[in-house]
Structure 1
Amino acid sequence: MNTNKVWFVTGASKGLGLSLVKKLLANNYRVAATSRTISALKQNIPNFSDSFLPLEMDITNDENVKASIEKVIDHFGQIDIIVNNAGYSQTGTLEELSDKEVKQNFEVNVFGLLNVIRHSTPYLRKQRSGHIFNISSIGGFVANFPGFGIYCSTKFAVAGLSESLAEELKSFQVNTKPGQFYSMLLWLQNTR
């Protein structure tokens, strides 16, 4: 894959997102990475270069997401690969979770991802190329995990909107890959 491509990775300060960002930077890709706090990114990726743009972003704030995408365009001149990785697992039985806990899990896992899609796809459609990876979970395909009903329902939503998005963007040569993190890494490995 052409290392001039620009990756935009949400939820990049720890876990899978951080691992991906480190791998991309080690292979000379240009990367914009987001976290709720920029200090978390700076702490975990201390050697900055022009090919790395750390961004503090609240994925649940539509205007903040829009401003972050615009910063990527201003810095790199383009955006090519979106990795919607930000999210969290809300645990608790369905009857014990509060309305606030349920809504917050949907705000982050579904509507936050949708905010990124809304503000990045106009650039991908205009350039008639790109990829979107919406990181899901096995919980987005089967929900037989007691105590994870709300989390699973958010991931089912991600799978459904990803399938529809793939059809909406197909004629613009933008590929959408719903699925788990390992499927994205396999795709990355096979496109080198």
Structure 2
Amino acid sequence: METTNQKVWFITGASKGLGLSLAKQLLAQGHQVAATSRRVEDLSQAVGGNDKFLPLSVDISNEDSVGAAIEQVISHFGRLDVIVNNAGYGLAGAVEELTDAESRANFDINVFGSLNVIRKAMPYLRQQGSGHIINIASIGGFTGAFAGFGIYCATKFAVHGFSESLREEVKGFGVKVTVVSPGYFRTNFLSSTSLNVPVNQIQEYQEVRAVQDAHEHDINGNQPNDPEKGAAAMISLANLENPPAHLFLGEDAYALAEAKIAAVQQDMKQWAALGKSTGFDAVVSTPGH
């Protein structure tokens, strides 16, 4: 069952990509939209003038900046219905070659930025007794089988983890939570403005360089999924009375998720005797002997 009433949306990282497509579609449908970017000028230029649009300059890694933005949304629109934690950036590089600072910076935006938004928005959602938090992860948050994307995948795995827990924590307040895992969408995500690479590259990691090069040149511009259709899917998601905990976007995301599930099931089956050998009453047996 779907509901189609007009809502107040809050979207982070909306000056480009899926966030921008989502903001534009929502405004065209008459919804009220607050959107963030580091530069408010980028938002205003990308979206254009609309009396139902509230562009906000926000540093999502700064809790005070996020808190001020949420207060502005409530003051301006009077409520908050759907939060889309969309802001994030890609980071390519082997785990060994990415520095502590490079790794933590990716977590600051992709993980802690979303947590800042959730922490500041939840008091209002609890008071309303309603709301829907949509956390944008990635298929790379469900399977990490991409050489050179270990830290990025780690950030998106974290989004999956806290989203699942958050869903259980807030369901009693009438607040819904969905983690969305897109595959490859034809946005500028793989361009140099959104995909960071290591400052210090280790030449021995030839496979990592090959994967990095493929993403920057071969895959970039040839992604199979349409961001306009991705945005439309998220609007449909928010209209569901009982939305799912997980939504994968794109046939490629589905194929990768199914491969991961099959691999885990195979490992569980093959190594069940060893894995179940830890109980006090278990009979210890090693496979192959």
The match for 1:2 among 5, 12, 15 is 5
Aligned to 1:102: 103
- Aligned mates of 2:154, 2:56 — CA distance in 1: 29
Alignment partner of 1:24: what SS?
Answer: helix
Deviation at 1:98, TM superposition (A): 1.1
Residue 34 of structure 1 aligns with which residue?
A: 36
Aligned partner of 2:98: which letter? Answer: L
Aligned counterparts of 1:184 and 1:155: Cα–Cα separation in 2: 19
Post-superposition offset of 1:184: 7.1
- In 2, distance between residues paired with 1:121 and 1:79? 10
Alignment check: 8 A CA contact 1:8 1:32 kept: yes
Whether 2:94 is the aligned partner of 1:47: answer no
Question: What do residues 68-104 of structure 1 show as CA deviations (whole Å, max 9, x unaligned)?
Answer: 0000000001111000000011111111111111000
* Superposition CA RMSD, Å: 1.5
Aligned equivalents of 2:113, 2:168: Cα separation in 1:
21
For residues 183 and 135 of structure 1, the distance between their equivalents in structure 2, rounded to whole angstroms, comes to: 11
Q: Which has the larger radius of gyration?
A: 2
Change (3 A) 1:18 1:113: same
Separation of aligned partners in 1, 2:26 and 2:234: 13
Answer yes or no: is the 8 Å Cα contact 1:6–1:81 preserved in 2.
Answer: yes
Aligned equivalents of 1:183 and 1:21: distance in 2? 12
Q: Give 1:186 shift.
A: 2.8
| Structure 1 unmatched runs, 5+ | none
Structure 1 consecutive aligned stretches of length 4 or more whose deviation exceeds 3 Å: 181-185
Which amino acid in 2 is paired with 1:109? N
Q: Which amino acid is 1:161 matched to?
A: F
Distance 1:183 1:141, change over 3 A: farther
Identity %: 56
**Whole-Å separation in 2 of the counterparts to 1:166 and 1:175:** 6
Distance 1:118 1:176 in 2: 14
CA distance in 1, matches of 2:35, 2:97: 35
Is residue 2:189 matched to residue 1:189?
no
Matched letter for residue 23 of structure 1 = Q
- Using a 3 Å threshold, how does the CA distance of structure 1 residues 46 and 115 change in structure 2: closer, same or farther? same
Partner of 2:145: 144
1:188 to partner: Cα distance: 2.4
Work out whether residues 133 and 184 of structure 1, in 8 Å CA contact, stay in contact via their aligned partners in 2. Answer: no
Aligned to 1:117: 118
CA distance in 1, matches of 2:161, 2:94: 23
- 1:135 maps to a residue whose letter is I
Once residues 43 and 175 of structure 1 are traced to their aligned partners in structure 2, the CA distance between those partners, rounded to angstroms, is 32
Q: Deviations over 1:17-36 (max 9, x none)?
A: 00000000000000000001
Question: CA–CA distance in 1 between the matches of 2:34 and 2:117?
Answer: 13
TM-score, reference length from structure 1 = 0.95
Unaligned runs of 5+ in 2: 183-228, 241-289
Q: Judge conservation of contact 2:81–2:130 (CA < 8 Å) in 1.
A: yes
Aligned partners of 1:180 and 1:12: how far apart in 2? 17
Aligned counterparts of 2:37 and 2:116: Cα–Cα separation in 1 = 15
| Correspondence for 1:63 | 64
Q: Following TM superposition, by how much is the alpha carbon of 1:185 offset from its aligned partner in structure 2, in angstroms? A: 4.0
Q: 1:59·1:112 contact (CA, 8 Å) conserved in 2?
A: yes
SS of aligned partner of 1:180: strand
For residues 74 and 85 of structure 2, the distance between their equivalents in structure 1, rounded to whole angstroms, comes to 17
CA offsets 1:3-30 (integer angstroms, 9 cap, x no match)? 1x20000000000000000000000000
